[in-house]
Structure 1
Amino acid sequence: MTFQKRREALRSTLSGAVCIRPGSVYDAISIRIAEDIGFEVGMFGGSVASLAVLGDPDIALITLTELAEQMRRMSRAAALPVLVDADHGYGNAMNVRRTVQELETAGAAGLTIEDTLLPQAYGQAKPQLISLEEGVGKMKGALDGRGDPSLVIVARTGAASITSLEDTIVRAKAYEATGVDALFFTGIKAKSELEAIAAATTLPIVLGGAPEAMNDPDYLRGLRVRIALQGHAPIAAATQAVYETLKALREGLPPKELKGLASSELTNKVTREAEVKARLAQLLGL
């Protein structure tokens, strides 16, 4: 599947009538598994990118080059459309422009740009937002950097948990006016907040986490929520599995007695062994 088709598939999800849950992906194997299972969209979060590439917490240490290269690896491995958390765009509006160019080239189907002040300011323990004017400039920079019109640009704000609902709506309307394709909200705690935001805007909504009472797909669908994140459990599960396996081996358990390992059938499937063997026969006569 070409990059354009992946982007068109993501656009189809955003313009559709249902709310989907994306599969959290972070490397070549995880994206293939998500694709094989049938997820419509993959979500490459900033936190999992930092874990997978650096082994560091989500404090904006990863660079654009590292993020784009990991996305490029995933794009090669599978055709699943991926929405990338591009954080703050790695700088000002000009940096955002380049972030879009790099992630577009790397095969992302879409990306989010947020208005959080990153990296964290000296002496400020709580998250902060950049000004509305700078946020608008970043969205404009993202749109200006887009070479493929099918690439999805999503404006993200965490104002609901940092400033106020009123500020959230002001920012959402201003970002919508720039021409972005969707709006991403984090920190929403009540149905009334989501309902007010949906009433004040018109674009498809991506929701980054919400209380259990707001997780009904039919309810979210009625408020134009087309993608609702459900955390990044796969990398947490993988971390636990690796820890338990290495711990058991270190304590002397024979490898053949280990539990929970991928079968040879599953390994062959995710490594596309049948396709590789066919090419070996065709190209190398093996």
Structure 2
Amino acid sequence: MVPKQKRDAFRAILKGENVIRPGSVYDPISARIAEDLGFELGLLGGSAASLTILGDPDLLLITLSELAEQARRICRAGNIPVLVDADHGYGNALNVRRTVQELEAAGVAGLTIEDTLLPQAYGQAKPQLISLEEGVGKMKAALGGRLDSSLVIVGRTGAASITNIDDAVARAKAYEAAGVDALFFTGVKTRAELNAIASATTLPIILGTFDGELSDTVFLGIHRVRVANQGHAPIAAATQAVYETLKALREGVSPKELKGLPSTELTHRVMREADVKARSAEVLGLKR
């Protein structure tokens, strides 16, 4: 599937009436597993990318080129559309433009640009936001940077938890007016907050979390939520599995006695061994 087909598939999700839960992916294997399990959308989150690339917390220590390369590896591995957390676009509005160009070339279906002040300002422990005007400039730069109009540009704000819901609504309206394709909100916790957002805007909505009052997918769907994230448990589970396996080996457990390992069938499936063997037989004359 070529990038435009993946982007069109993501746009179909946003134009639909159902709420989907994306699969958190962080490398080619996790993306293939998500695809095989039937997830309609993969999500490369900033924290998962930072942990995969650097093994560091989500403090914006990775670079644009590192993120774009990881996204490229994920996107080439299969057909699942991938939405990438592009943080603040790695700088000012001009950097945002380049971020869009690099991630578009990597094959992503969509990306989010947020209005958080990143990296954190000196002496400021709490998250801060850039001005609404600068946020609008970043959204315009993102839209101006794409070559394929099917690439989904998502305006993201954390104002609901950093300032207040009124600010979140004002920013959402401004980003919608700038021309973004969807709106992403973090920190929205109540039905009243979501109702305020949905009443003031018309675009599809993506939520950073959905629990408590917002766990009802029927309610979410009525209020135009089309994607509801469910965290990044897969990479956490992988970390635990690697820890337990290495710990057992260090303690002298025989490789044949290890628990929790994938079956040979699963391993062959996620590495697409049958396809590789077929190509090898065709172009290298190797027996299947």
TM-score bracket, normalised by the shorter chain, equals over 0.9
Q: CA RMSD in A?
A: 0.6
* TM alignment of 1:114-193, pairs within 5 A: 114-193=114-193
Equivalent position of 2:24 in the other structure:
24
Matched residues, number: 286
Deviation of the 1:212 alpha carbon: 2.4
TM-score between the two structures when normalised by the length of structure 2: 0.99
Deviation of the 1:79 alpha carbon: 1.2
Deviation of the 1:262 alpha carbon: 0.7
Deviations 1:22-73 (A, max 9, x none): 0000101000000000000000001100000110000000100000000110
Give the whole-Å Cα distance in 2 for the aligned partners of 1:95 and 1:215.
36
Equivalent position of 2:276 in the other structure:
276
Unpaired segments of 5 or more residues in structure 2? none
What's the % identity of the aligned pairs?
72
Unpaired segments of 5 or more residues in structure 1? none
The residue type paired with residue 163 of structure 2 is T
Equivalent position of 2:258 in the other structure:
258
Deviation of the 1:211 alpha carbon: 3.0
SS at match of 2:192: helix
| Contact preservation (8 Å) 2:88, 2:117 | yes
Bigger drift between 272-281 and 213-222 goes to 213-222
- The answer to whether structure 1 residue 209 and structure 2 residue 209 are counterparts is yes
Deviations 1:139-195 (A, max 9, x none): 000000010000000000000000011101100000000010000000012110011
Deviation of the 1:101 alpha carbon: 0.2
Equivalent position of 1:218 in the other structure:
218
| Contact preservation (8 Å) 1:44, 1:82 | yes
| Contact preservation (8 Å) 1:44, 1:85 | yes
Give the whole-Å Cα distance in 1 for the aligned partners of 2:76 and 2:210.
32
Give the whole-Å Cα distance in 1 for the aligned partners of 2:284 and 2:125.
59
Give the whole-Å Cα distance in 2 for the aligned partners of 1:278 and 1:216.
46
**Structure 1: which 4+ aligned runs deviate by more than 4 Å?**
none
Equivalent position of 1:244 in the other structure:
244
TM-score between the two structures when normalised by the length of structure 1: 0.99
Deviation of the 1:220 alpha carbon: 0.5
Deviation of the 1:76 alpha carbon: 1.2
Equivalent position of 1:112 in the other structure:
112
Deviations 1:189-210 (A, max 9, x none): 2110011111010000000013
| Contact preservation (8 Å) 2:189, 2:212 | no
- The answer to whether structure 1 residue 15 and structure 2 residue 15 are counterparts is yes
The residue type paired with residue 51 of structure 1 is L
Equivalent position of 2:230 in the other structure:
230
Equivalent position of 1:285 in the other structure:
285
Give the whole-Å Cα distance in 2 for the aligned partners of 1:266 and 1:119.
40
